[in-house]
Chains A and B, each alone.
Chain A
Amino acid sequence: MVEEEGFRRYVAHIILWIGIAIVAFPVYIAFVASTQDNALIANGQMSLLPGGHFFETYYQTIFVGTSGSTREPVGNMMLNSLVMALLIAVGKIAISIISAYAIVYFRFPFRMPIFWIIFITLMLPVEVRIYPTYKIVADLHMLDSYAGLALPLIASATATLLFRQFFMTVPDELLEASRIDGAGPLRFFWDTLLPLSRTNMAALFVILFILGWNQYLWPLLITTRDDMQTIQVGIRKMITTTDALTEWPIVMATAMLAMLPPVFVVVAMQKLFVRGLVETEK
């Protein structure tokens, strides 16, 4: 990187700070709102400095929920979201790494057609196939269950493709050496391919966890019981109250809480994540 001279460097930094401010300000406002009194917010007199209701608001949000609309503790919603996001991320990785393994390392009839069928599902996101998917999940009595929340979202063409590309860069000699060393297909997968895929799996996990955590439409459709609600759906249900005042501090506190797990996952796995995306160590 080239070191810029004084003035130009300040300009660059100022631009960067402006960018950060634009991104961070709404988040800050949400935080401030979550610590203030609801009446002040409703009157339009919200201060730009944090208020004094931090602990009581967050306590109520996590353990009690809104007093009006849903009355579901956000702690429980977060648990639902977490289970769903983890099931989706882990499930997608498990399914796609196995299918990529089959496609790359085994010769079976209709191998390429099957690959193309997987590939084509890229063009059919949940929104497009939502009616048949709903019908199937309903017929299997999986409405209002974790299985119903996660299963339809587990199949992933993207992850399968990613693993396929990675497997194709693994030298054939490794497989041959394994065969000579007496490792069968499962052993090779478990002892060699999985450890080599570690960084790829970590990168995918980050992406897929956030994807799962942010699901909105599907959970909205198939969960009707309040105790099965996910946090993203819960936030919106808190706002759509026609006969009562929206409890903004709680809504904002929920929004802040909804942000935390993805941030935590990204920060915790950043190193592996970046390595998984850029590294081609064999």
Chain B
Amino acid sequence: MGSLLLPCSLVTPYSPLPIRYSLVQHMANVTLRNVRKTYLGGFEAIKGVNVDVGDGQFCVLVGPSGCGKSTLLRMVAGLETVTGGEIDIGGRVVNQVEPADRDIAMVFQNYALYPHMSVYNNMAYGLRNRGMAEAEIKTRVEEAARVLELSPMLERKPRQLSGGQRQRVAMGRAIVRQPKVFLFDEPLSNLDAKLRIAMRVEIRKLQRRLNTTSIYVTHDQLEAMTLADILVVMNGGQVEQVGNPLAIYEKPATTFVASFIGAPPMNLMSTRPEEIRSQLAGSAAADAGILGIRPEDFVITDQTPAGGVALPLTVEAIERVGAETFVYGSREQEEQRVAATPGELPPGEIIVRIPGTEAPAIGAKIRVAAVRTKLHLFSGDGRTRLEA
């Protein structure tokens, strides 16, 4: 059985044939207005979310586990009830509409293929339930199979397919429906790292070709950055920041966003120690409580750029990954912890990213500096960004 599979098809690009008219989608935007979800016990999972996803846009919800991103997606799908606010798909409020009637299609993390049905029937099932003519179903399924390169496997059962192929079937099931909106719930989490990158690119290409509004949930900030037209960073049931991924990267609105988006995370430090306070003196920045500097914005230098910040470090560890090297250094002054966030370093530890493999020796004393424009300043509670 294994020899019949075509693993190479996973990395080959889609066939260059133009997509046929039958797969061109009607477009729709999705608007969430002050959406809330409170469970019976009183737990508030979603605390008022406002997001507007335009026609054909790819929106990514990203956040740590438990932040409510999956719940929000399932509310859009109609799998969870909405306890407050409105969900609007294509100009129609769908709060009380059954999932099947919302004109959406969903791709699940574990694919949720019907194990006893062939690939063809998995894709055709939803269309049959809608009473579509068998000839039209055949056209649509075969077209989707062609696009996803599943044509040789239409008669197989899901268990005879590899993980990546199952993922394609799940996407095929969504495509044949020609829905207004695609919903993806961490669709790549069950794949290995290499396949994940290949499928990520394919999902993006497919979405561009079909031009269907999509909402995609992930906890992987890299996936979020690469896929999104609009990035929604969530934390604790609330939206921390919405916008273009690069804009968010360059101007994170809170310390949570600053450390969640970007890997390795932004270095965050209190501005209270005299060492930093003195360097920031004489500007509005002096009022800030937290200073953030991305690892790649540091340079190892003896000079202090005007208005910038320089820090003396002792090198603790070196990570060489080929094209770049990460230097983990500790500051001489211990300081209090700043804002509990995912991927946070121990207090006083700073990551510096330098190109190439040249690096100082462990234990060496170095001095790193960042220019003024690369400083991120936040209020003391980390909830507000201050412009320097």
Contacts and interface: CB of A to CB of B under 8 A. Distances in A.
Nearest to B98: A179
B129 to A, nearest CB: 4
A191 interface: yes
Contact of A173 (B98, B110, B125, B130): B110
A183 B101 CA distance: 11
Contact of A176 (B79, B116, B125, B130): B79
Interface string A146-187: 000000000000000000000000010110110111110001
A155 to B, nearest CB: 29
Nearest to A177: B112
A117 B212 CA distance: 50
Contacts of A6: none
A180 B99 contact: yes
Which size class do B's interface residues fall under?
Answer: 20 to 34
A281 B98 contact: no
Contact of A180 (B104, B110, B111): B104
A210 B112 CA distance: 37
B106 A282 contact: no
A176 B112 contact: yes
A27 to B, nearest CB: 40
Interface residues of A, number: 18
Contacts of B173: 177, 181
B204 interface: no
A192 interface: yes
Given A281-B115, A282-B115, A176 B106 contact: yes
A182 B130 CA distance: 7
Contacts of A183: 100, 125, 129
A180 B106 CA distance: 8
Interface in A174-221: 174, 176-177, 179-183, 187, 191-192, 195-196, 198
Contact of B112 (A173, A187, A191): A173
A150 to B, nearest CB: 30
Contacts of A179: 78-79, 98-100
A17 B258 CA distance: 76
Interface in B89-122: 98-100, 104-106, 108-116
B126 interface: yes
Nearest to B170: A177
B156 interface: no
A282 B98 CA distance: 27
Contact of B114 (A174, A176, A198, A281): A174
Contacts of B105: 180
Contacts of A171: 110, 112
A174 B112 CA distance: 5
Given A179-B78, A182-B129, 4 more contacts: A176-B79, A176-B108, A177-B108, A179-B99
Give the 9 A-B CB pairs with smallest separation, nearest first. A181-B126, A173-B112, A182-B100, A182-B129, A177-B112, A195-B116, A173-B108, A179-B99, A180-B99
14 contacts: A173-B111, A176-B77, A176-B79, A177-B106, A177-B108, A180-B106, A180-B126, A181-B125, A182-B126, A182-B129, A183-B129, A191-B114, A191-B125, A192-B114
Interface of B: 77-79, 98-100, 104-106, 108-116, 125-126, 129-130, 159, 173
Interface of A: 171, 173-174, 176-177, 179-183, 187, 191-192, 195-196, 198, 281-282
